[in-house]
Structure 1
């Protein structure tokens, strides 16, 4: 790994030092008066291609950095009402000033033409109108076509391959990371521009002092006061009767913003995740995260196909959310935000799987029919001040879950068929409060942060009848099956109470672009776990006694980590650097008197991280990063009693095992190119990571696929090498956006299965292509495709699989206000001689009442009425062939409209 990191660093520094030259100077008129906003470009002689460019400031000063292999380059200056000037200069660092002569220009005809992509400093602005098609209605529809930007299926917006850290509307962060509601429902007609703010530091006090490597999105609206939103009401027939309702009114002004959202459907559209936090801001703002359950117990789950969700999701969902922001002071520095959402969702899922176990040379299968019930409520209250002379943010969050899962299971093997009903009840209460404030003190800044989290999880798993379980247990060093009594019930109870706190204080000193931030802090967490398994056996074959402490846990897991660190940050026009050098004093203790657990660990760790970025030649950015981290396990690796985490088998921990220790190291680098002058965007990178563990997972699997998972003390490692790249370009002349992506991942790891040591190696390659075109007035096309190759080698099986996916949408506009749509999803997979081809086709007709901005749509989905999806999966020692239930053919009629 050291050799790989060294080679990469050599590659990185060779990139940023190759032929980089800087030219600076002053541009004035003939009287010596500075000329602001003059453009300065560097070009190779005889070529119509700009190497780099700059704009003069209010003092007439410019600075341009470029790279070229030519011995001479042309330096050109242009300014309004001044005669353009060109100088041929040597390819070297130098200072060149210009004195321009006045030149009046007679303008015969004026044509206002807006540039589709413009750049100013670290902000790139996209004219939304240049990228939309007649079929687009919302912001998300258009953003998918903008070069350099990708909108993922879960709503996450990526810029140059990385997730954005903030999503603003007119500079205000109403959604606090849950921006999917706005991007999916804000009408495109309300938007003037989409701005990408590169290297965005969201805390204003830290701008220019603490750099950031993430980008943010800011939406510029056409009106300063905007009342808008999107609605849809639909009904249709399939099995059962279908409905779809979406109502999302919005309001934006300088002092207030709000979004209300109600969505319900049973036609396979996943709307309940729109409120998930997908933009996490800056760590200086405190902690942000999605509230989730500690889901230790679960029923056996039907498989999910790698298809668009609408193809397979049998749902009945109601999702309601409200977001409100207002300024509460005259200076408009203080903001009050309230966010709340409620989800009620019922999902049905079904699949059948046939498994071949190459290690044991056995075959078995199973069929699961699931019903998942989600019932959750979340509320937030947020106070924020984000000003140049002070920062304060307090977020209080409450979440309540009343979830439940059900499964009807059927398993078969050489011994015959078995049927079982499975149920999990899982209520959870959760409370968090995050506080962060930065106080100016003379020329310094003092940052105080506090985080408190309390959560209570209570879960129960029931299996009826218990003899459905063919769970292996070790008896006299051999593997046998627990003989449950016929007609009995197996019951696993679980409860865990968690308290987590984190407090820190730091002070920042800034001098000549450098910022030093020494910090002290302490993290404390305690988990109290109680579990009990209850079942009845026949009492033969040495059956286990479930009344023994072996099947109970009463564990207290405590972790205290005082820490001291120094943050080092630097920023100027070309360089950005931020690093953190912490020393952690880890103290961990696990106690369970009934199971004779008394483990402790006291260890000092050094976990530095660093990121450095260099901007050069106006369009390029090169960056490198590295970090070391330590993980000492958690309560899930410290208990010693058996826990039936799922009907697939017990999880077992050894009371004599030490506390797990994992040391991870990673390093990587990246080269970016984004040129708004020719609409070309490019990024490529490489990353290597390695983690070493002191415990190794050991699974004992019987011929029916049930298992017992233990952990033994044995050093093992996992290493992953990832190479990726993306290039995209917008062709204005043809109104076409195209991009190509590539990703290769190579992973090696170790595992024990039925006492066989397995050295597993996986190599995966993915090639992607995206294309959209709006050149013709009568047609628009959107096409996304990916091709994947995976190779697995582990001594038990050496296999190769291939996959191909594409999504095609073609819209025809035969007459004004009439749209015909054709949709084609294709998903193919190959394993040896076995090939699966799954094609899905949809048709739509839409009439637009243009003056009222109302659309009437009739859509026929899954025309071929394909009812199942087939897939092959490779696991450690098995190959699984799975058939999954899909939504049948269905027809929907919808009315879609803007609120204003």
Structure 2
């Protein structure tokens, strides 16, 4: 009976999507009988109100969606520049409503345009002319993107359009950089880019474009024809004081057959070259492969980084090799290789004082750390892609090797010690995807993902700490924590899509397996140099096997104004884990139905509303169930005493996107709410020297609410782009500390404003400000309230003083207020002068950063009922002389 009811519901939903709207079809032709493209077609009622609207396709055909057929006597009106307006009355909705347009001359008032940027729109693509927004001092296309209304570039290089992160950055239509596009925006000269295209509803798979259900947004850099004929690039040599260097060599080519951006760089001026290797949509990739595993179980317990741009606080000596090459065998077949290696040496020094407020006590500790950090990253990725109308093949092979070492001298509550952390992650994977379009227009899809990961870790601490807990109160020489966590994983499925006009039904079935072994041991070294286990309870030999068999039905409906998608994934989950050394053996079987629904309604040609809902059951991983205690860092002992964590999440969301492209005005607003129910909670036993965490079986409820609104406008008269935004987020959750279960309420409200202005032909000015308020409080009587406020302002002035001589001045101001602490105020300033030797294609540049020579930075951090203050050592004044040769 239940199965029959479910089938009936799915049938009714599918029927609703197909039959809820009835189309009126027709063709608009010119006097010669040829179809006219992009004609505005409106359906008006007897009183002249617009009931529906659309545009004609390249053949002149149109399709008007109506909710009922009571439209006899209504008018269809067609308008287009260069033609006289034409309208007809509807006599029979079943007949083709054809209109013939007569050519006409339109006399326009004479308009003089001076340096007025413009946008052009073609369907889902918006075109920014690069030259309209670029200035003489802009070197790369990334410099120009920041000035384009509707486009936002974050400090880490992530690009968003009208509030939505881009899914890809294409170079002349090709995905050369595979989501690690920072090297492209930093290296490609703005003068080589003819226009920047914003592609809404981006669908990279050709066979799927006819019935496109994608909501992704991508950027495409259209390269000028003359820039495709030669290898371009630049070489930079820089030296400075105290003992600073900055070197860079970049070469790039963008012709039809071969595209590459190859780069070698190194510096010790606080600019992390590894930022070029950031994958901005990594979370989307991890969701797709569905391979959850802990990234690392051990740490040094470092305080993180201060709330400053990285170039203000980073002590580094780093180099990166970054090679990105794409070869096209033909229009449909290409091979891409992305190979990179990062070597970095960093230093970090700070003092920290932390307090946690409980009902009857305050837990506090102070610490000092002097860290030497050595991260390395080697990545080799090879991609073979065939993208034709009839079939699609994508094979992606990735090798990642990331050795990581930290050496640290530290003290906690005036007790000094040393630690060394070694982590060595090796990750090998292959992702295969093949689609085939049948003669019926239906599509079959085969997918397979294989992965092998090894994650050995070791933490060595000397002398031994917390002897009362770890060595029966006797002094000892040190601790050694060892962990190994090898993982095998595979995910495989086959799907079949039935295509019927704008209605697509996709059915998928597959299975995945994950096998892991967590092996950990905690040893102590006694004063006589002997090594022994701290106890049998600090050993893990946990075998984990997780399997999932799943089936999924997806229903997508697309029309000119409306999109809807319903997903019904059903999965059978089986987890078996055992650890004989901890007398642990468990078997879990769960059947989950995780439905989701989304709609998109086009309220106008450029505006739309979206809404979504999802319900998700999820299970924890191997790091939720190990019983043996692990020394996570020198002040944290972690263990579990609960079954696998199970979560049930309800999520709701809605958004409104509005734009007037020709007026260069963009606006977006969104709201999201989620509620999560968990069957476990982390219990913390805190003291002034150490925290011990145990996961316990206790119901836990988390609620999250967020709102955001952002606007961007180009002011033609002022030749300026202005941006405004506001965000609000609230979280409610429980926290268990020293036996006290406390409900917490955390709120954050932030505002931002910015302007990119051309004050004169020789002067540009930019200003950005962010003001944020964070409030944390336990929902009990007489609870301590922690409130944090911060204002951050950044401004820069670019001046052409003489011909080919450019001066740049910039400043950054930070103000921080916390009720129980003194106010913090900082003003950083930089100056830079550049001379361009045009004939030699060389720039000579001299700059000074941190003119005020600030060498110490204080920061405040709050979370729940904790307040942390930190003092960081940062680089002082740095002077650099650079020469950059362009070729």
**Are residues 1:602 and 2:589 paired?**
yes
Aligned to 1:458: 456
Aligned to 2:151: 149
- 1: CA distance between counterparts of 2:764 and 2:555? 50
Correspondence list, 1:22-101, <5 A: 28-29=29-30, 34-36=35-37, 56-61=56-61, 77-80=79-82, 82=83, 85=85, 97=99, 99-101=101-103
**Are residues 1:589 and 2:588 paired?**
no
After TM superposition, give the deviation of residue 148 of structure 1 in Å. 1.3
- 2: CA distance between counterparts of 1:372 and 1:569? 49
**Equivalent of 2:687 in 690, 702, 707:** 702
Q: After superposition, give the CA deviation of every residue in 1:800-859 in whole Å (9 maximum; x if it has no partner).
A: 211111221111112221111111111221001621111100011111123444321111
Q: Please, which moves more after superposition, 745-754 or 805-814?
A: 805-814
Does the 8 Å CA contact 1:168/1:219 hold for their aligned counterparts? yes
Aligned to 1:674: 659
- Structure 2 CA distance for partners of 1:363 and 1:257, relative to 1, 3 Å: same
Correspondence list, 1:166-177, <5 A: 166-177=168-179
Please give the secondary structure, in 2, of the residue aligned with 1:227. Answer: coil
- 2: CA distance between counterparts of 1:803 and 1:259? 39
- 2: CA distance between counterparts of 1:106 and 1:835? 60
Please give the secondary structure, in 2, of the residue aligned with 1:830. Answer: strand
**Equivalent of 1:256 in 258, 281, 299:** 258
- 1: CA distance between counterparts of 2:502 and 2:430? 34
Does the 8 Å CA contact 1:165/1:281 hold for their aligned counterparts? no
Aligned to 1:16: none
After TM superposition, give the deviation of residue 410 of structure 1 in Å. 1.4
Please give the secondary structure, in 2, of the residue aligned with 1:669. Answer: strand
**Are residues 1:742 and 2:691 paired?**
no
Q: After superposition, give the CA deviation of every residue in 1:668-708 in whole Å (9 maximum; x if it has no partner).
A: 0000012212111110010001111111111001023x100
After TM superposition, give the deviation of residue 315 of structure 1 in Å. 0.5
- 2: CA distance between counterparts of 1:22 and 1:821? 59
Correspondence list, 1:313-328, <5 A: 313-328=314-329
Correspondence list, 1:560-639, <5 A: 560-639=547-626
Correspondence list, 1:819-830, <5 A: 819-830=806-817
- 2: CA distance between counterparts of 1:749 and 1:730? 42
Please give the secondary structure, in 2, of the residue aligned with 1:600. Answer: strand
- Unaligned 5+ runs, structure 1: 1-19, 44-49, 67-71, 474-480
Q: After superposition, give the CA deviation of every residue in 1:226-252 in whole Å (9 maximum; x if it has no partner).
A: 43544352434333x101112121111
Please give the secondary structure, in 2, of the residue aligned with 1:774. Answer: strand
**Are residues 1:862 and 2:850 paired?**
yes
Does the 8 Å CA contact 2:513/2:547 hold for their aligned counterparts? yes
**Are residues 1:874 and 2:862 paired?**
yes
Does the 8 Å CA contact 1:166/1:281 hold for their aligned counterparts? no
- 1: CA distance between counterparts of 2:563 and 2:35? 30
Please give the secondary structure, in 1, of the residue aligned with 2:830. Answer: strand
Does the 8 Å CA contact 1:293/1:457 hold for their aligned counterparts? no
- 2: CA distance between counterparts of 1:106 and 1:723? 44
Please give the secondary structure, in 1, of the residue aligned with 2:602. Answer: strand
**Equivalent of 2:234 in 223, 231, 235:** 231
Aligned to 2:883: 895
- 2: CA distance between counterparts of 1:24 and 1:824? 60
Q: After superposition, give the CA deviation of every residue in 1:91-141 in whole Å (9 maximum; x if it has no partner).
A: xx9989564354497999999999621111111111111112222110111
**Equivalent of 1:804 in 791, 795, 800:** 791
- 1: CA distance between counterparts of 2:585 and 2:741? 30
Aligned to 2:700: 716
- 1: CA distance between counterparts of 2:127 and 2:103? 32
Please give the secondary structure, in 2, of the residue aligned with 1:173. Answer: coil
After TM superposition, give the deviation of residue 270 of structure 1 in Å. 1.2
Aligned to 2:366: 365
After TM superposition, give the deviation of residue 202 of structure 1 in Å. 1.5
- 2: CA distance between counterparts of 1:325 and 1:249? 14
- 1: CA distance between counterparts of 2:862 and 2:714? 39
**Are residues 1:419 and 2:420 paired?**
no
- Structure 2 CA distance for partners of 1:86 and 1:826, relative to 1, 3 Å: farther
After TM superposition, give the deviation of residue 41 of structure 1 in Å. 9.5
Q: After superposition, give the CA deviation of every residue in 1:299-337 in whole Å (9 maximum; x if it has no partner).
A: 131431111110001011010011111123xx4311111
The total of aligned residue pairs comes to 841
Aligned to 1:761: 745
Q: After superposition, give the CA deviation of every residue in 1:506-526 in whole Å (9 maximum; x if it has no partner).
A: 111001211111111101001
- Structure 2 CA distance for partners of 1:87 and 1:895, relative to 1, 3 Å: farther
- 2: CA distance between counterparts of 1:42 and 1:845? 60
After TM superposition, give the deviation of residue 536 of structure 1 in Å. 4.8
- 2: CA distance between counterparts of 1:28 and 1:114? 35
- Structure 2 CA distance for partners of 1:578 and 1:38, relative to 1, 3 Å: closer
- 2: CA distance between counterparts of 1:723 and 1:109? 42
Aligned to 1:437: 434
- Structure 2 CA distance for partners of 1:56 and 1:809, relative to 1, 3 Å: same
Correspondence list, 1:204-353, <5 A: 204-223=206-225, 225-239=228-242, 241-279=243-281, 287=289, 294-328=295-329, 331-353=330-352
Normalising to structure 2: TM-score of the pair? Answer: 0.89
Relative contact order, higher structure (CA 8 A, sep 6+): 1
Please give the secondary structure, in 2, of the residue aligned with 1:269. Answer: coil
- Structure 2 CA distance for partners of 1:538 and 1:371, relative to 1, 3 Å: closer
- 1: CA distance between counterparts of 2:555 and 2:33? 42
- Structure 2 CA distance for partners of 1:31 and 1:392, relative to 1, 3 Å: closer
- Structure 2 CA distance for partners of 1:845 and 1:700, relative to 1, 3 Å: same
- 1: CA distance between counterparts of 2:807 and 2:42? 46
- Structure 2 CA distance for partners of 1:110 and 1:24, relative to 1, 3 Å: farther
Does the 8 Å CA contact 2:390/2:438 hold for their aligned counterparts? no
Aligned to 2:135: 133
- 2: CA distance between counterparts of 1:802 and 1:357? 19
Does the 8 Å CA contact 1:722/1:746 hold for their aligned counterparts? yes
- 2: CA distance between counterparts of 1:431 and 1:34? 54
**Are residues 1:787 and 2:774 paired?**
no
- 2: CA distance between counterparts of 1:892 and 1:615? 53
- 2: CA distance between counterparts of 1:373 and 1:52? 62
- 2: CA distance between counterparts of 1:119 and 1:284? 34
- Structure 2 CA distance for partners of 1:583 and 1:104, relative to 1, 3 Å: closer
Correspondence list, 1:349-428, <5 A: 349-359=348-358, 360-412=361-413, 417-428=414-425
After TM superposition, give the deviation of residue 648 of structure 1 in Å. 1.5
Aligned to 1:13: none
Does the 8 Å CA contact 2:554/2:567 hold for their aligned counterparts? yes
Aligned to 1:17: none
- Structure 2 CA distance for partners of 1:281 and 1:527, relative to 1, 3 Å: closer
Does the 8 Å CA contact 2:730/2:747 hold for their aligned counterparts? yes
Q: After superposition, give the CA deviation of every residue in 1:370-407 in whole Å (9 maximum; x if it has no partner).
A: 11101221111111111111000111111222221111
Does the 8 Å CA contact 2:86/2:99 hold for their aligned counterparts? no
- 2: CA distance between counterparts of 1:494 and 1:281? 26
- Structure 2 CA distance for partners of 1:514 and 1:838, relative to 1, 3 Å: same
Please give the secondary structure, in 1, of the residue aligned with 2:760. Answer: coil
After TM superposition, give the deviation of residue 77 of structure 1 in Å. 3.5
Q: After superposition, give the CA deviation of every residue in 1:163-218 in whole Å (9 maximum; x if it has no partner).
A: 11121111111112111111111000000000011011121111132411110111
- Structure 2 CA distance for partners of 1:31 and 1:334, relative to 1, 3 Å: closer
Aligned to 1:493: 482
- 2: CA distance between counterparts of 1:282 and 1:209? 22
**Are residues 1:470 and 2:466 paired?**
yes
Aligned to 1:730: 714
- 1: CA distance between counterparts of 2:635 and 2:430? 37
